[in-house]
Amino acid sequence: MDVVIDRVVQEYPGFTLGPVTLSLSGGVTGLVGPNGAGKSTLMRMVAGIEKPLSGTISFLGETCDSVLKTGFLPQDFAAPRLSRVDDFLHYAAWCSGVESRSRGSSVQKALEAVDLVDRARSRCGRLSGGMIRRLGIAQAIVHDPMLVILDEPTVGLDPFQKIELRKLLRGIGERHSVLLSSHSGDDIGAVAEDVVVLNVGRQIFNGKTDQLVLLGRDDDAGDTPLERALSRVLTESQR
């Protein structure tokens, strides 16, 4: 497995996350749960922003600096308005340890991956909301990380922008392991082959998205089979 999260635990006053155990090896894994479930906490630990209280996170069997092995798009991503798109990505590549002789090609590949080549010299403040989200993904992949972590990448986008971004996410999942957090069952159902469900800090499901869908019933709350399944496992976890 590319990335193994083994019995990871984190504690804050009044809240405990874990233990969480999962493996990521290519493709998109959805991370789902209500507000306060621990999704952002887990992503910050995997990204190396904070250390777990216990448990390990390993990459290809080695525990190492997660920051250089992962790319992270936070939910509240923003780029300097006056910076040009390619200049911002050059800076992101430098921050992520890309050598100077490779930065130009790394930036070009990231721009191509998110379809922003024609906006390379645009100022970030002139980009649309959908373009900003794509730029956020570009800075997360510019150093060709093993794992790409995306926190609510479709939040605030209109339906057409979401469709385009989902297409982009499926493409990235063909080249990287992706951990995708979303409140939208539509997003998860459209791009994620695997799904992990958290509720109040506990891991209550870890498996194939198709397997999760089978747990739902027609009388469960929700408008789609996946939403009904999520409603069922969340309700049962509170009993």
Sheet containing strand 15-24, edge to edge, reads 15-24, 3-12, 54-59
Residue 62 pLDDT exceeds 80: no
Amino acid (one-letter) located at 113: A
The verdict on residue 112 lying in a domain is no
Quote the pTM value.
0.89
Find the CATH number of the domain harbouring 152: 3.40.50.300
For residue 139, CA distances in Å to 111, 187, 228 come to 9, 21, 35
The verdict on residue 192 lying in a domain is yes
CA angle 26–31–37, rounded 5-degree value? 155
What residue numbers bound the domain in which 26 lies?
Answer: 3-76+147-237
The verdict on residue 62 lying in a domain is yes
Task: Give 173 or 87, the one with higher predicted confidence.
Answer: 87
pLDDT averaged over every residue in the chain: 90
Q: Would you state the pLDDT for residue 61?
A: 66
Q: What is the mean pLDDT of residues 61-67?
A: 62
**Each residue's pLDDT tens digit, 205-236:** 999 999 999 999 988 888 889 999 999 999 88
> How far apart (Å, rounded) are the C-alpha atoms in residues 190 and 212?
14
Q: Would you state the pLDDT for residue 163?
A: 87
The verdict on residue 109 lying in a domain is no
The verdict on residue 187 lying in a domain is yes
Domain total for the chain? 1
Determine phi and psi for 231, rounding to 5 degrees.
-60, -40
The verdict on residue 33 lying in a domain is yes
> How far apart (Å, rounded) are the C-alpha atoms in residues 57 and 7?
9
The verdict on residue 126 lying in a domain is no
Q: What are all long-range contacts of 101-107, with beta carbons under 8 Å and residues at least 24 apart? A: 106/142, 106/143, 106/144, 107/142
Determine phi and psi for 150, rounding to 5 degrees.
-125, 115
The verdict on residue 61 lying in a domain is yes
Q: What is the mean pLDDT of residues 117-137?
A: 93
